[in-house]
């Protein structure tokens, strides 16, 4: 019996693709049962459909408020008996009401070595721009449990990526994805899924 995973996405879904691809290798204790996007045009939805995974679109606009948006999210997750929630480029901060409902059941991938370049306002290219501006020589990615503090939950795994002299935010973003995020996220999802199954 595998842990049922829901992946929450907002954009292109490259981390989702890494998870889908890992289902035949790394991710053996969990299966992606649902992909939810808060943007109807997110390419991640196409990736899910191509892999035969059920999708849902829930937008704040459609719901009218953050509270209603989260209520709809919870309803959808519970309907599908989801065990683990993976945030893969999900561009919405979830409230403490939501996160406290799922302790150690929500994981997120962040494109830096937490506690550097994280927290509110640090997402997407902004993280890599900050790393380059600061002049750090090593960056990377972190997978962590999600709690009420943005990027503040317990760290599950980290992987370092060296910064090159000619890096731009774009080249760095690509390398951090390829060398860290796409490896760490499936490994961490497997680790947490395995723990969920063992707790049953």
From 82, 123, 90, 87, select the one nearest 107 (Cα to Cα): 87
Look at residue 169 in the predicted model and tell me its pLDDT: 98
135-161 residue pLDDT tens? 999 999 999 999 999 999 999 999 999
Three-state DSSP class for residue 141: strand
* Cross-strand bridge partners of residue 40: none
Round to whole Å and give the CA distance between 26 and 191. Answer: 10
From 158, 156, 172, select the one nearest 107 (Cα to Cα): 156
Instruction: Quote the pTM value.
Output: 0.96
Write down the catalytic residue from 110, 128, 144, 175: 110
Q: What is the DSSP string of 75-120?
A: HHHHHTT--EEEESS--SPPPHHHHTTSTT-EEEEESS-TTSS-ST
Three-state DSSP class for residue 147: coil
Domain with 171, as residue range(s), is 3-199
CATH of the domain at 87: 3.40.50.170
79-137 residue pLDDT tens? 999 999 999 999 998 999 999 999 999 999 999 999 999 998 999 999 999 999 999 99
Return all residues near 121 (Cβ < 8 A) that are at least 6 apart.
none
The domain tally of the chain equals 1
Number of other residues whose CB lies within 10 A of the CB of residue 17? 18
Look at residue 48 in the predicted model and tell me its pLDDT: 98
Long-range contacts of 44-49 (CB under 8 A, 24+ apart): 44/7, 44/9, 44/10, 44/11, 44/12, 44/13, 44/16, 44/88, 44/89, 45/9, 45/13, 46/13, 47/13, 47/16, 47/17, 47/20, 48/7, 48/13, 48/16, 48/20
- Does residue 110 carry a catalytic annotation? yes
What average pLDDT does the chain have? Answer: 97
Round to whole Å and give the CA distance between 122 and 55. Answer: 27
From 96, 195, 194, select the one nearest 152 (Cα to Cα): 96
* Cross-strand bridge partners of residue 65: none
Round to whole Å and give the CA distance between 85 and 76. Answer: 12
Look at residue 188 in the predicted model and tell me its pLDDT: 98
Q: How confident is the model at residue 77 (pLDDT cuts 50, 70, 90)?
A: very high
């Amino acid at each position: 019996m595998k842990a049922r995973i829901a992946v929450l996405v907002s954009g292109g879904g490259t981390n989702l693709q890494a998870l889908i691809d890992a289902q035949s290798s790394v991710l053996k204790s969990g299966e992606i049962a649902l992909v939810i996007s808060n943007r109807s045009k997110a390419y991640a939805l196409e990736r899910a459909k191509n892999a035969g995974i059920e999708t849902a679109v829930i937008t704040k606009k459609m719901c009218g408020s953050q509270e209603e948006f989260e209520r709809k999210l919870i309803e959808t997750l519970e309907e599908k008996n989801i065990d683990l929630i993976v945030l893969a480029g999900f561009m919405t901060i979830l409230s403490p009401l939501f996160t406290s409902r799922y302790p150690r059941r929500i994981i997120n991938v962040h494109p830096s070595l937490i506690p550097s370049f994280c927290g509110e306002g640090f997402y997407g290219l902004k993280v890599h721009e900050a790393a380059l501006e600061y002049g750090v020589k090593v960056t990377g990615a972190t997978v962590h449990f999600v709690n009420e503090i943005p990027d503040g939950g317990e760290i599950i795994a980290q992987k370092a990526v060296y910064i090159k002299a000619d890096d731009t935010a774009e080249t760095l973003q690509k390398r951090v994805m390829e060398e860290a995020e796409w490896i760490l996220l499936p490994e961490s999802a497997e680790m947490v899924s395995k723990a969920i199954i063992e707790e049953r």
